């Protein structure tokens, strides 16, 4: 029987989270995949799988690839800079001037090649990205992602008011450019797809929001935006949209809140009604704890969202957040939930390590379909972790080893990455 690339077996110490409550652990076992999808996990290989390609990662940990539900590609050069400001002045002072540069596609190329290599390095196998307002740089970002083999939803940013002239779009052009990108890229790749990306309500006219909702519906495209990140932002939205019950209703009114698959970044200050609407409409929250620390935004009550059944994942929000590694974001999610626990007089329980891991894999992965887990039928996106530098004193349980990797490991511990059962090599552009 001929060995086929699409029949692959990864052998090693397998860890994932079918549910958030605990890790599912298979010591020294085999994940069998066909056509990029998991067939099953076995302690012994049945005869019928003997001729599959077997990659032996014995003593290494195999986990699902990391999912980043919220990051801004053009802000890569600003990582770690200017975090002495809150959201709105930070946008004006650091972010918008940086994003302007992407009118130059050569600048875009310089940054985006580095960004994608960095995402590969830290084990982010799929992400939901904001580009800038620029059509050509956004197309370039699509092309580079497609070339890399990583998975992404990429959204050309739309914003047509209340911003500096140099970054404010003409409404018609914003829509036309967006539709051009959508048509060009919607069927170009299985792994890299367009998403509708109004920046956030205060910088979009009603006409723009309405048209974007129409495009989302017309092409059945997902939507990404920002919601309730900062107290100043809330007041601004209230002032601009006085007739709406709340911030979420603005997006909801224009078909940008779960009418198609939707993910909203931050969600720190949502009202109970908004959280219920998210649960009802199946709108994802992308929790970005490092960003929320870095920009003095506040602490999202993650437990409340989990309890109410809002679909949830994690995001770096690079460069509002300085980190690009989802393992770092998992730790920050745990830490911030502990501070929220104290703040709520121990009412909202902190999230556990398995919950944080779930959010950064299967929780966010579900935005992409059956992604982020090793259950049967899931796409085999995996990271191979060599933790020998971490578990270096006495033997540890596999649960302890995964804890150590999440808390104190880094990209040096990630030795291979797989997406849909295929190894992804370091991107060369």
What the block records as the tokens of 287 is 């929790």
SS3 label, residue 26? strand
CA distance 14 to 31: 8
Angle at 270 between CA 268 and CA 276, to 5 degrees: 130
Residue nearer to a second copy on the CB measure, 48 or 412: 412
Helix (H) or strand (E) holding 59: strand 53-64
Residue nearer to a second copy on the CB measure, 379 or 386: 386
- On the question of a cis peptide bond just before residue 319, with omega within 30 degrees of 0, the verdict is yes
Interface positions with a second copy (CB under 8 A): 76-77, 79-81, 83-84, 110-111, 114, 290, 293-294, 296, 298-299, 322-324, 331, 334-336, 338-339, 341-343, 350, 352-353, 390, 392-394, 400, 403-404, 406-408, 410
Q: How far is the CB of 119 from a second copy (least distance, A)?
A: 14
CA distance 330 to 340: 15
Residue nearer to a second copy on the CB measure, 37 or 338: 338
Q: How far is the CB of 318 from a second copy (least distance, A)?
A: 10
Q: How far is the CB of 297 from a second copy (least distance, A)?
A: 8
Residue nearer to a second copy on the CB measure, 404 or 420: 404
Residue nearer to a second copy on the CB measure, 138 or 336: 336
CA distance 34 to 52: 9
Beta-strand ranges (E) seen in 222-355 are 223-227, 262-266, 284-287, 312-314
CB atoms within 10 A of CB 184: 13
Name the residue among 284, 394, 399, 287 with its Cα closest to residue 340.
Answer: 287
Q: Report the relative pairing of strands 284-287 and 262-266 from DSSP bridges.
A: parallel
Q: How far is the CB of 317 from a second copy (least distance, A)?
A: 14
Q: How far is the CB of 408 from a second copy (least distance, A)?
A: 4
Angle at 404 between CA 402 and CA 406, to 5 degrees: 70
Q: How far is the CB of 294 from a second copy (least distance, A)?
A: 7
Residue nearer to a second copy on the CB measure, 192 or 390: 390
Residue nearer to a second copy on the CB measure, 158 or 297: 297
* Residues 6+ away with beta carbon under 8 Å from 87: 229, 230, 232, 233, 295, 297, 320
Residue nearer to a second copy on the CB measure, 1 or 393: 393
Q: How far is the CB of 98 from a second copy (least distance, A)?
A: 10
Q: How far is the CB of 410 from a second copy (least distance, A)?
A: 7
What the block records as the tokens of 115 is 């960004």
Name the residue among 159, 162, 231 with its Cα closest to residue 196.
Answer: 159
């Amino acid at each position: 029987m001929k060995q086929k690339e699409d029949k692959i077996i990864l052998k090693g110490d397998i860890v994932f989270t079918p549910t958030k409550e605990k890790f599912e652990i298979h010591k020294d076992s085999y994940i069998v995949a066909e056509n990029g999808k998991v067939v099953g996990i076995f302690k012994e290989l049945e005869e019928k799988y003997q001729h599959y390609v077997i990659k032996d990662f014995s003593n290494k940990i195999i986990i699902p690839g990391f999912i980043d539900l919220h990051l801004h590609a053009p802000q890569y050069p600003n990582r770690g800079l200017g975090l002495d400001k809150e959201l709105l002045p930070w946008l004006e002072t650091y972010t918008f001037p940086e994003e302007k540069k992407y009118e130059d596609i050569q600048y875009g190329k310089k940054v985006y090649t580095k960004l994608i290599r960095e995402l590969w390095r830290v084990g982010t196998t799929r992400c939901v990205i904001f580009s800038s307002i620029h059509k050509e740089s956004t197309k370039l970002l699509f092309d580079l992602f497609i070339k890399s083999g990583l998975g992404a939803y990429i959204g050309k940013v739309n914003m047509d008011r209340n911003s500096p002239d140099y970054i404010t779009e003409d409404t018609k052009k914003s829509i036309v450019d967006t539709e051009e990108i959508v048509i060009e890229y919607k069927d170009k790749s299985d792994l890299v797809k367009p998403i509708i990306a109004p920046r956030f309500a205060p910088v979009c006219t009603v006409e723009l929001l309405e048209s974007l909702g129409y495009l989302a519906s017309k092409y059945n495209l997902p939507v990404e935006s920002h919601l309730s990140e900062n107290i100043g932002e809330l007041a601004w939205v209230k002032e601009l949209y006085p007739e709406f019950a709340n911030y979420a209703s603005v997006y909801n009114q224009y078909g940008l809140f779960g009418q198609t698959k939707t993910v909203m970044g931050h969600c720190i200050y949502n009202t109970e009604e908004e959280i219920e609407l998210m649960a009802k409409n199946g709108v994802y929250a992308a929790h970005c704890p490092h960003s929320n620390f870095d920009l003095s935004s506040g602490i999202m009550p993650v437990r409340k969202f989990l309890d109410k059944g809002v679909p949830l994942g994690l995001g770096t929000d690079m460069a509002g957040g300085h980190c690009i590694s989802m393992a770092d974001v998992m730790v920050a999610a745990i830490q911030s939930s502990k501070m929220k626990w104290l703040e709520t007089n121990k009412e909202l329980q902190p999230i556990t390590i398995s919950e944080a891991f779930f959010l950064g894999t299967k929780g966010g992965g579900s935005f992409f379909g059956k992604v982020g887990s090793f259950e049967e039928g899931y796409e085999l996106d995996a990271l191979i972790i060599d933790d020998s530098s971490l578990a270096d004193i006495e033997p540890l349980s596999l649960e302890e080893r995964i804890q150590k990797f999440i808390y104190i490991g880094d990209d040096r511990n990630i030795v291979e990455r797989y997406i849909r059962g295929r190894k992804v090599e370091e991107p060369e552009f």
